[in-house]
Structure 1
């Protein structure tokens, strides 16, 4: 029987992996901002939603040791479908009782997002592990750019187009509105849609995903699997440099992630930009979408042609520039056109820079427990995102937007301190040599 092309399932797998992360960590903040909660409360409590992505390193060996990656990812998608449907129903009931902006709804929905975060983190482990098992080494190199593009596509659509449509559903302005339902039922509709989408993902993947011969438990002893996976990860050469790079590379992103949507959406009398949900979504979901895909394409091509070590310095500089963009916007309050241009440039640079980070994680996740190693790396990354994110709301409340973004810009320069460390990591050099020997280019599939 002819082998099924990865094009049949890689795009949808990574759409399904990207949507819950952005919905739980970013769209939740937009939801609470639209319902009138303070920046400090939003940043602190939604910051806790990173916790499952940190803790997943501790149960990722179970994904290696119990059942198959295929079954785990199907279960994760099914659970997420149920979670989003329940959050949608909760929002609808709260809207009907006119308490959507109450602490009751905040608490219930936050617990729903937290449960969904655990399912999403498990889905990440299973999907990335399945990718490494279902594809040949050449196919992995070919599709590394493709999977990143579709993951980023889901994140941009989730934080852009879906928010724009959600705002339009309840906006009374006839030029921008579909005028279908009263606020905040539009938020209930969003989560019901997401629940149905994930039910469709689970149904499609249960039918289409091949069952690789290598996709089987690596150990019958979960405790031994857990111990061995951690030992092999933390005993690899240059582990200190690896950890420092993972923690520092996205430091600026961590400070900005919760505050940027609030800065763009909150009313102007609070010092924010006061952009409508529709324009915010259109900018993020159209211009931002095109920019991030272009960044992924160019980033994959440059990494394939020049290699990681030659690309990481300019990519890191591009990553930290948007911090200064937001410092300027907080000070100058530019027009919508300039704001859209700066946000587009941010997404272009982020698309470039995150390709390098994805390749770095792949390079240091090798061996028998590569699935667990990948999960440990991304869990450490989530730890580096969580703490600054939780503090960002209080910092912004104390400093105001202008001083907060200025401080974030200065702190983001620590990213540059992590770059020289990559030159000391031998696994990067060895893996790049292996790719060259197999004549694999990271940009082949782009």
Structure 2
């Protein structure tokens, strides 16, 4: 039998708990609010605001150094996340459900972003470099496992319950289920996660975390070519950030409004099965492709692949198919392209943005910039779609991808991939 503190006792469950709330906030919430009759503009706006927690999380990470331990922070934020989901489930049936549920999800996003910092810190602090490399594959697998649980099992459950009860009851149960799961995971990690202690108070970095943070920020912005790199990272997901949000609303919207009119159950089947597998396969193959060709040659192809989802939605908005197998196949191509292309951004941040005095912290700043680009593009997507309609909006998505493609001929791109110094990947 494995020892109690063996990494496989806590790494898979820890990163499952990391992926689960992110998928709820950034994916499931949009589907839920669409089914509850909220407008596309409101959904896009609140989705962007909820995503801000992952943009600014590096700014409060020094405060977590004051916690009794990273294990304490992990258990606390998992329990808080579970409580937020149960609270959102309770208010969903009452008046003012939108305002109160968004407030609960906002607190969930803050708890989840804080949990990310503590979880990555525990992983890096408790494992040797060899172990970090050995178990790095488990991170992405179980992070995506949390995403699959939400997009597949939870959304399918909501679809089944919609057929038996009213929509609000169905989604209240769909929120309560992962809420209970997070509470159980908090209790489990109270036992399974390895104990760690806060740094010695006599240590200067522990006494003055903000001074270290200032040095991290200053050294980041003093890097040669960093401002062009920031622009590139910001623009990389501009098209995808708009299309991913509106695309799901298009799938649900009535055919009279230009959508496909898919049921919640069909959405869960389409996105929670083959599409998730295609995303994982695309991510793995994209990494191998980048390593094989080097970023300088691979990046244009990776950016084109990143925008394959826009092409698929252009097709769906013209053909308006009603065959679930065909729609699932098209959405699988969408997710494969997204995973394949996103690997390029992860490699760019690891090989160009992160290297230096604080590689882990600078990589975290890079992911914050990436999330900011996603949030800003999501924020405006609702108004653009309302003005253009679905088909023309997806054409606009193709045009929005051009700036990042053109920048590949300007930004510094290494010809051969360097060895990554980080154990964890970016949050998609």
TM-score normalised per structure 1: 0.85
The answer to whether the 8 Å contact 2:286/2:344 transfers is yes
Gaps of 5+ in 2: none
The 3 A distance-change label for structure 1 pair 288 and 157 is farther
SS of the residue 1:37 aligns to: coil
The 3 A distance-change label for structure 1 pair 434 and 197 is closer
Q: Which residues in structure 2 correspond to 1:227-376 (within 5 Å)?
A: 227-303=214-290, 308-309=295-296, 311-336=298-323, 337-363=325-351, 364-365=353-354, 369-376=358-365
Aligned residues: 418
- 2:185 corresponds to 1:197: no
The answer to whether the 8 Å contact 2:68/2:197 transfers is no
Question: Which moves more between the two structures, 120-129 or 65-74?
Answer: 65-74
- 2:399 corresponds to 1:410: yes
- 2:189 corresponds to 1:168: no
Shift of 1:65: 5.8
Q: Which residues in structure 2 correspond to 1:130-145 (within 5 Å)?
A: 130-145=122-137
Gaps of 5+ in 1: 172-178
Question: Which moves more between the two structures, 293-302 or 252-261?
Answer: 293-302
The answer to whether the 8 Å contact 1:61/1:229 transfers is no
Structure 2 counterpart of 1:176: none
SS of the residue 1:295 aligns to: helix
The 3 A distance-change label for structure 1 pair 273 and 2 is closer
- 2:170 corresponds to 1:186: yes
Shift of 1:264: 0.2
Aligned with residue 106 of structure 1, among 98, 112, 122: 98
Aligned alpha-carbon RMSD (Å): 2.9
Show CA shifts across 1:253-279 (max 9, x none): 111122111100011111111011111
The 3 A distance-change label for structure 1 pair 153 and 354 is farther
Structure 1 counterpart of 2:412: 423
Structure 2 counterpart of 1:26: 27
Shift of 1:397: 0.7
Q: 1 CA distance for matches of 2:354 and 2:329? A: 36
Shift of 1:382: 1.7
Structure 2 counterpart of 1:150: 142
Structure 1 counterpart of 2:18: 17
Shift of 1:117: 1.2
The 3 A distance-change label for structure 1 pair 394 and 84 is same
Aligned with residue 117 of structure 2, among 114, 120, 125: 125
SS of the residue 1:9 aligns to: helix
The answer to whether the 8 Å contact 1:152/1:292 transfers is no
Show CA shifts across 1:42-75 (max 9, x none): 2123321122222222212323465543332222
TM-score normalised per structure 2: 0.88
Structure 2 counterpart of 1:432: 418
Shift of 1:386: 1.4
Shift of 1:223: 2.7
The answer to whether the 8 Å contact 2:243/2:309 transfers is no
Q: 1 CA distance for matches of 2:66 and 2:396? A: 44
SS of the residue 1:219 aligns to: helix
Show CA shifts across 1:258-301 (max 9, x none): 21111000111111110111111101001112212222333344
Structure 1 counterpart of 2:37: 36
Shift of 1:413: 2.5
Shift of 1:111: 0.9
